[in-house]
Each structure stands twice: as structure tokens, then as C-alpha cells.
Amino acid sequence: MPHLFGKTYTREQLLRRVGDVSQLGGTRLVELLDGNQRGVRAVDFATGSGLAFSVLLDRGMDVYNASHCGRSLAWHGMPGAVHPAFFEPEGLGFLRTFEGGLLCTCGLTYAGAPCTDEGEDLGLHGRISHTPARSVCLDAAWEGDDYVFWAKGSMRETRVFGPNVVLTRTVKARLGESRFFVEDRIVNEGFQPQPLMVLYHINAGFPVVDKGSELIAPSLDAAPVTDYAAKIGERWHLMDTPTHGVPEACYRHRLAAERDGTTFVALVNPKLDGGFGYYVQWNRKQLPHFTEWKMMGEGMYVVGTEPCLMPLYPRAELRKKGKLPFIAPGEERVITLELGVVSGPAALRSLRRRCRQALRR
């Protein structure tokens, strides 16, 4: 049942009080109109709990804006929500249109650093986040006393004489809740096995990221990837003030899981209202790897929490190591994520307790 304005309501009680449920929450189809964002379709979500976010239909159905009670949860890259026509796939060209946002999807057949794999030049982080969705559907329904609303669409990574891999994404939320769900169904509709590299680039900025903010994770091991990460050592979980000239620090984590295979991380500012931030949880069988991107620079002040299907190496290196995942012809992979708000000291204490319990298993 929706919990709104400090009270829980049944379906009947709510419908007696509103002309249309949209006055409390739901979805709205919009279009960006200014500059190089012009023509980007988006879906605005509002859950009635204070959580609001937008899904960019023409950018792989990534989640861009996200806020709770007016406080931003996401980091926005300097380029903004650029139209996919401006995408530069070569080398590091991805960064010219990297919107950041709460969720940027990397993949599907390659992700990570640029490389040359079997004679094919691959750029940074793949193409899927610059692929517009087709067959888009927005809908809502009562499920008992729960009001559920969603957006669904499909993106195809393909070329003639190449892969034909389809991602169908559903983003779903419930009225009165401060969380939402992402379900991805990935199908190889071609007739040859294809590399499958998927990384969820989840990005937090100020005020979630500030001096004293913490990454709370059931980490069994945090292996530094960059020289600076090795230099600062065990400070992987602590955030600093914006610092001039500081390089990025990246870590590969090995996370503990709960009994059902669920694992999670959270990024929280404990000094803001006793705890403000977000968590993301997923099944470790679906996404067995996790990378942290910690960037404490001026302007580039962001922390990326990145569940991924594979270790974050260039595709050519994964192939050489024998660790490159593949998806067989006709095979379907399902990946689900839950992202939610952490708000207040009780929620923060609960997260810390959950982390300790996962590490004891």
C-alpha cells in the first residue's frame, strides 16, 4: 500500500481522494529542446515520496536526473544529456557525450578502456548508452493496493555482418516508495556467439559526495587499479573535499553476498540529515564483479559504483586471459537492479548492520 504524507492508504482510500493518480505520482513523457540535447525523449518519474528521476529514452534508457525531496542524488557530466547523433565512438570520444547521471549503461559487446580486439578498434565503454529505444511503452496498473508504473523499450546493438544483440529494459516504481527497479533482458538474436560486456556506471555527486561521505560495501578485498588508488590504500571508502589536480582512484572489489546471493553498496553523506545517499543492490550471480571509481577533483567530483558482468579490463585483454563472457545464439540473460534512497540515521544504521552481517557469512 502506498505510504504518503505520513500515512498508509489503500487503493480505495486514495481513489476517493484524487481525480487522477497522476496528481500523486507516475510517469510523464517529455522532450529536451535546448542546444545539443534537442530531440532527446525522456520519461519523468515521480513516486510521491519525494523521489523523482528521469529516464532518457534516446540514451539507452539510462537514468539521468535523480533527486529526493529536492536534493540531488546523481552527478551530471559536463556534456549533459547530449543527443546520440553527437556520439563519437572512437578512442575516448565517449567522454564528449558522457552524461553521467545516476545510471549510465556500458556495453553490450564491449566496455572498459579502448583497445583493438581481433583487428576491430573499440572505443571506451561501448555503444548502448547512445542507442535510442524502440517500441517504447509507458503504463501503470494497480496490483492489489499497490500502484505500479513503468517505462519499457528495446535497444539493438547490431551491424551488417556483425552482432545482433537486443536489450529490453523495464524501469519500474511504486507509488509511495523511495526506490525503483531496472530489469534488463539481453538476447542474442544472431546466429553466432557474441562477446557480452555489461557495466552499470552508477554516479553520485554533491551533496551525496562531500568530505566525510562513505562508500558502505561488504568488501572482502579492494584491489587498487590505478597508481593513486594504491597510494591512498585503505581510504577507498572515505571521500575528501574537492582537490586540485588529484587523479582518479579505481578499485576492483570482491563483495560478500547474503544467503540469496544478493549484494549491495551504498554511498552516503552521514553529515547531511544524519545520513543521505543511495544504495544499489543486485544478485551476484548475475553481476559477479564490482568496480569503484573515486574522482575527488575540482568539478570532476564524483564517485562511480559499478556492478559489472566481467572484470573491468579491455576486451582484448579479457579474451587473452580467457575471461571474456559470451552470449550464445538465442540465449537470454536477465539482470535486475534495485536503486533506492538512504535518508536519516535509522536508515544509515540499518545499512551498516546489513554490511556487517554480510561480511560475517
DSSP state of 292: E
Averaged pLDDT for residues 317-323: 97
Grid coordinates representing 62 are 539510462
Report pLDDT digits (tens) over 121-135. Answer: 999 999 999 999 999
Average pLDDT across the chain, whole number: 97
Calpha distance 60→98 (Å, rounded): 12
For residue 133, is it left (φ>0), alpha (ψ between -120 and 50) or beta? beta
Q: What single letter denotes the amino acid at residue 220?
A: L
Averaged pLDDT for residues 334-348: 98
DSSP state of 70: T
Question: What was the pLDDT predicted at 224?
Answer: 95
Domains contained in the chain, CATH given: 3-360 (2.70.98.10)
The length of the chain, given as a count of residues: 361
Residue 154 has pLDDT above 80, yes or no: yes
Report pLDDT digits (tens) over 91-118. Answer: 999 999 999 999 999 999 999 999 999 9
Question: What was the pLDDT predicted at 104?
Answer: 98
Residue 360 has pLDDT above 90, yes or no: no
Please, which pLDDT band fits residue 361 given cuts at 50, 70 and 90? confident
Report pLDDT digits (tens) over 20-69. Answer: 999 999 999 999 999 999 999 999 999 999 999 999 999 999 999 999 99
What do you get for the CA distance between the two ends of the chain, in Å? 33
Please, which pLDDT band fits residue 356 given cuts at 50, 70 and 90? very high
Residue 196 has pLDDT above 90, yes or no: yes
Residue 178 has pLDDT above 90, yes or no: yes
Residue 326 has pLDDT above 90, yes or no: yes
Averaged pLDDT for residues 331-345: 98
Question: What was the pLDDT predicted at 234?
Answer: 85
| C-alpha dihedral (236, 240, 243, 245), degrees to nearest 10 | 0
Question: What was the pLDDT predicted at 233?
Answer: 83
Question: What was the pLDDT predicted at 25?
Answer: 97
Calpha distance 31→170 (Å, rounded): 19
Report pLDDT digits (tens) over 233-272. Answer: 889 999 999 999 999 999 999 999 999 999 999 999 999 9
